[in-house]
Structure 1
Amino acid sequence: MQIPENLSALIDQLFRQNATWEELIKQIRRASECDILAAEKIAFSHQGWRRLCNHRINHDRECKKQAVWHIKHHGPNSLIASVGENLVVIEPKAN
């Protein structure tokens, strides 16, 4: 997935500042004028955010609950998959 340089810099900055997921998505949506699912795809294009989310959806009860909801709500278009007993973020495909 090709992300404009200014948006990529914003995502990296928010990662380094330990921003919340909610703040990250709000900032992406504001900067790119996209919907939530598109903002999540953009966020998951960042290796650090993807790694952090992979850890949280498997170790934090509330994050896991949200990830399971995401899978059920988005079905085959989900950005998260169940692999064995773990949940994993699917890396967005390059355009």
Structure 2
Amino acid sequence: MLALVDRLFQAQATWPELTKQIRAQSGVDLFTAQKIALSHQGWRRLCNQRINRDSDCRKQAIGHIKHYGPNSLITLSINETLAIDEPPAD
């Protein structure tokens, strides 16, 4: 699965394309597909940049936080900066 995620990162796929491909290949739900995608350092870095610079991405990130609450993959800091949570170390 990580090879697919890396290949889509290298191909500069969109976020919807990425999550759709992950779901199709693994049969997981959307939240799990997002978790898999964000376990990739490149996607995590790109998403961190976009959720703080692009207003549409920011809206989606805030919607994610509201929907998933404490289980969200994104954190909103006191200074209004959004950040993708680092995956736990194995």
TM-score, length of structure 2 as denominator length = 0.95
**Do residues 90 (structure 1) and 76 (structure 2) align?**
no
Residue ranges of structure 1 left out of the alignment (5+ in a row): 1-6
SS class of match (2:75): strand
The equivalent of 2:2 in structure 1 is 8
Query: Quick one: higher RCO (CA 8 Å, sep 6+), 1 or 2?
Result: 1
- Give the Cα–Cα distance (whole angstroms) in 2 for the partners of residues 81 and 65 of structure 1: 13
Q: For 1:51-79, what per-residue CA distance to the aligned partner results, in whole angstroms no more than 9, with x for missing partners? A: 00000000000000000010011100000
- Give the Cα–Cα distance (whole angstroms) in 2 for the partners of residues 66 and 53 of structure 1: 11
TM-score, length of structure 1 as denominator length = 0.90
Aligned Cα root-mean-square deviation (Å): 0.9
Question: Matched residues, percent identical?
Answer: 60
Kindly tell me the number of residue pairs found equivalent between the two proteins.
89
Q: Which of 70, 74, 83 pairs up with 1:76? A: 70
